[in-house]
A and B are shown apart, each in its own frame.
Chain A
Amino acid sequence: MVSLLDPTMLTNIFLIAISGTLICIAVHFIPVGGAPAAMAQATGIGTGTVELAAGSGLVGLLTASHMYAGEPNAPVSLVLAAGAMGSMIMMASVGIACGIMYAYGVGVPFASAQVKRDPITGARQDLYVSKGTQGHGVPTVCFVSGLIGAALGGIGGALIYYVLVGIYTPLITTSAAAVAGVFTVAVFYVNSVIPSYGVAGTIEGFHDPKFRRVLPKDAVTSFVVSLLSGIIAVMIAGGMV
C-alpha cells in the first residue's frame, strides 16, 4: 500500500506541485497575442495561451518520454533536458513561421509597444509601432522570452512524467507510461489554462509590465491546484495495488 506520509511520496507530491507551478510560470514567458495578434494589432504569436503553451509543452512531453523509453536508466537531468529541448524546438519553429508570415505576408515591422527599446538588441521600438495598435510581429525579446518559457514548460511536463512513471511502473508495468502520460497532459492543461485567465488573453513576455503584476497570484493558484493533483496522483497509485 502506498502511504501518503512516506518521505519519498511526499517528495513526489512536492515535485509534481513544483512542476505544475513551472508550467504556470512558463505560460507567462510565452508571447501570446491572441486574436489581436492574429490581425497584427498586438505583439506576439496570434493564437491563444493554452494552444501555445500546451502545444510546445506536449512536444516536450513526447521528446522526454521517448528519451526515457529508449534509455530507462537515464538520470532525471537528461529526461528534463530532452523535454526542454523538444519544447524549445517547437516554440522556435512557431516563432520563425510566425515571423515569416508577419514580415512577408502581413508586411509589418516587428515592434513592441510595452518597451521603448528592445532589452536584448537595444533597437528602438516606439518609432515602428503603428498608431492604434499594441505593436506587431515577434520582436527579438519576445522570441527569446518564448524560448525561456518553452524550456520551463518542457522541464515541468517532463518532471511530472518522470515522477509518475517512477511511481506507477512497479504497480502496472506495461500501462504505466500511458497512465503517467495522460495524467501529465491533464495537469498540463489545467496549469496552462489557469495563468491564461490571469493574463487575460495576451502577454508579451518577461518585459511586459503585466508579467510582474499577475505572476505571483497565478503561481500561488497553480501551486495549490498542482499540489492537489500530486496528492491525487499518489492516491491513484494506492488504488492500483
Chain B
Amino acid sequence: MSDIKDVPPNTLTLFGIIGGLVGIYLSPYFPTAGALGAMCAVVWGADAVRRVAKYGLGTGVPSIGQLALGMGIIAAMFSLALTRSVTLAGPILALITASIIGLIIGWLAQNVIKMKIPVMIRGMTEIAAAGVLIILGYSATVAGNYVFAGIIPKVFDNGVILAIFWVGTLAMAHPFNACLGPDERQKRLLYLAVSTGAITMTLMGIAALMTLGVSGVYTIIVGIILWLISYKKFWDEVYKDVASVLGTGLLPKTEG
C-alpha cells in the first residue's frame, strides 16, 4: 500500500484549526456552523490518534480520546471563563491552553512514564487541541454562541456537556479503533471520521432542538445528509480495500 500517498499531517492540522475556529466564530449567526467546525477537528483528531496509536498504547485506543476530551473540557472552561469581557479571544485562547496542557502531558508521558512513542509529544499536543475544538464546536451548536455565560446554562446545567464528552470521544477515537490493522489506510479512516463527526452533529442537533428550537432542525438535517454521504464513501473504500485483498488470487493447487 506504499504507493498511496497519505494526506500530510500539517495539511490536516491546518484544516482542523482553521475549519474549527471559523465554525466556532460563525456559530452565533448560524449555530450549525459550530458542529461543522467541530467535524473538521474530528477529522484532524482522528488522524492524530492514528499517528500516535499506531505504536500501540497498551491500553486501547479510546483511552487517548478520553484523555483528549478531558484536557479539552479543562482548557475550554478556563479560556471561556477568562475571556468574559473579550469573548472573541475565547476560542483562540482555548486552543493555545489545550496545546500547552497536551504538550506537558506528552512530554511527561515520553520522559517520565517513558512510553517510547517518538511522535508522542506532537501527537498529544494535536490531540488536546483537536479535543478543545470538538468541545467548543459542538457546545456552540447547542448553545448558539461560544461565551461562558451562554454555554453554562445551555450546555453544562442540563448535562449536554457529558454527551458531548462521550460522543465526541468516540467520534475521535472510533475511526482508528475500527480501522486499525495491517491493511489500515488513511483515506478510509478519514471518511469514517467524517461519518462519526456527522453522527455526533445529528445528536447535537437533537440537543439543540431542546435549547434553541428550530436551528436544531437544520443541524439534524445537515448532520444526516453528511452522515449518509460519508458513510457511503467509507463503504466504497472498504469494498475497494477488500477487493485488493481478495484480488491476490487463490493459492496454487500444486507446487510449481
Q: Identify the A interface with B (CB < 8 A).
A: 34, 48-50, 54, 172, 174-175, 178-179, 182-183, 185-190, 193-194, 196-201, 214, 217-218, 220-221, 224-225, 228-229, 232, 235-240
Contacts and interface: CB of A to CB of B under 8 A. Distances in A.
23 contacts: A48-B59, A50-B62, A178-B152, A178-B159, A178-B161, A179-B152, A182-B77, A182-B161, A183-B73, A185-B162, A186-B74, A186-B165, A193-B66, A193-B67, A198-B113, A201-B59, A217-B114, A224-B104, A232-B74, A235-B82, A236-B78, A239-B148, A240-B81
Nearest to B85: A239
B58 interface: yes
B104 A196 contact: no
Interface string B87-123: 0000000000100010011001100111100000000
Given A175-B152, A185-B70, A228-B101, 6 more contacts: A34-B59, A174-B157, A178-B152, A187-B70, A224-B104, A237-B81
A217 B77 CA distance: 29
B244 interface: no
A183 to B, nearest CB: 7
Main secondary structure of the interface of B (DSSP, over half): helix
B78 A178 contact: no
A194 B113 contact: yes
The 7 A-B residue pairs whose C-beta atoms are closest, nearest first, are A239-B81, A189-B70, A200-B58, A193-B67, A186-B73, A201-B58, A239-B82
Contacts of B156: 175, 178-179, 182
Interface string B142-165: 000000100011001101011001
Contacts of A239: 78, 80-84, 148
Interface of B: 57-60, 62-64, 66-67, 69-71, 73-75, 77-78, 80-84, 97, 101, 104-105, 108-109, 112-115, 148, 152-153, 156-157, 159, 161-162, 165
Given A49-B59, A190-B67, A232 B78 contact: yes
A189 B66 CA distance: 6
A240 B80 CA distance: 10
Contacts of B157: 174-175, 178
B210 to A, nearest CB: 16
B77 A183 contact: yes
A22 to B, nearest CB: 17
Contacts of B84: 239-240
Contacts of A34: 59-60
A236 B108 contact: no
A201 B57 CA distance: 8
Contacts of A182: 73, 77, 156, 161-162, 165
Nearest to B169: A189
A200 B109 contact: no
Contact of A194 (B101, B109, B148): B109
Nearest to B70: A189
Contact of A196 (B63, B78, B83, B162): B63
A196 B109 contact: no
Given A175-B152, A175-B153, A182-B156, A50 B59 contact: yes
Contacts of B162: 182, 185
A43 to B, nearest CB: 17
A183 B152 CA distance: 12
A229 B74 contact: yes
Nearest to B115: A197
Nearest to A35: B60
Contacts of B105: 190, 194, 221, 225
B63 A221 contact: no
A32 to B, nearest CB: 9
Which of B57, B67, B104, B115 is packed against the most chain A CB atoms within 10 Å? B67
Contacts of A197: 57-59, 63, 109, 113, 115
Contacts of A186: 69-71, 73-74, 165
